[in-house]
Amino acid sequence: MKPGKVYLIGAGPGDVELLTLKAVRRLGLADVVLIDDLANDEVLQFVPKHAEVVRVGKRGGCASVAQADIEARLLTEARAGRCVARVKGGDPFVFGRGGEEMQALLAAGIAVEVVNGITAGLAVPATLGIPLTHRDHVHGVTFVSGHTHQGDEPDWAALAKSGMTLVIYMGMSRLGLITEQLQQGLPADTPAAAIQYGTRPEQREVVGTLATLSADVAAAGLGSPALVVVGPTVGLARPPARSAHSIEKEFA
């Protein structure tokens, strides 16, 4: 039997309208879909009715299917000749472990196609009008994970001195420590924001400074999944734009 193919698909940060055309077309080919919790279920409207949908978790701090088991399931389905859509929130190659899955599949001789998605680090700050780069303020951006692996810890002091906008994924559980460490290289009044459920209707955000952000987040009851943005352009933040649904209703 000829092996099937696996598509590693980025579903974007949450708003289904940010799904790419290529992702929609590849979802339409699927026999089996393995979908993460952070991917919006609305993307499943583009999957054929006959396709099997398998939920594999993958949400920080919650029970989820082990990575080895996900990779084993991908191999099993592809070896059975099926077309498999592996759907991840954001982009599969930005803190999505897509690289690990691609390596496992290629090592087994399975064809893989990567379908990029809009990562939260790009889309979520934009909901508040926060540019990640700006000629008058900052000339670069760094994406970094606040979730340590086997004791690995980013050099927060060095990142603070980099002069870049910092976009921190998976940092909410360690926010107090992170903001304290960043103050070794940045002023306490550096603008900072935490944005939960970015691009979704239930989005909530707190905008403050490095000195106040952790306490403000706790007072507001924000939690994961959320993105933290630090840098001078956070000071340009404004109320989030209205959703497409509200705009359609206004002009209906």
What is the DSSP pairing of strand 52-55 with strand 32-35?
Answer: parallel
Q: Please tell me which residue in 5, 15, 58, 91 is annotated as part of the active site.
A: 58
Of 5, 15, 164, 170, which is the active-site residue? 170
d(CA 203, CA 213): 17
* Closest by CA position to 98, among listed 84, 110, 112, 109: 112
Query: Is 242 exposed, middle or buried (CB count within 10 Å of its CB: 0-12, 13-18, 19+)?
Result: exposed
Q: Which helix (H) or strand (E) holds 118?
A: none
SS3 (DSSP) at 95:
coil
Contacts of 238 (CB under 8 A, 6+ apart): 128, 129
Tokens representing 19 are 């799904």
- CB burial of residue 14 (10 Å; 0-12, 13-18, 19+): buried
The active-site residue out of 15, 36, 88, 102 is 36
* 64 CB-contact burial (10 Å; exposed 0-12 / middle 13-18 / buried 19+): middle
Residues 6+ apart with CB under 8 A from 64: 37, 56, 57, 58
Q: Is 170 a catalytic residue?
A: yes
Whether 36 sits among the annotated catalytic residues: the reply is: yes
Q: Is 216 a known active-site residue?
A: no
Q: What one-character DSSP code corresponds to residue 143?
A: E
Report, as residue numbers or ranges, the catalytic residues. 36, 58, 170
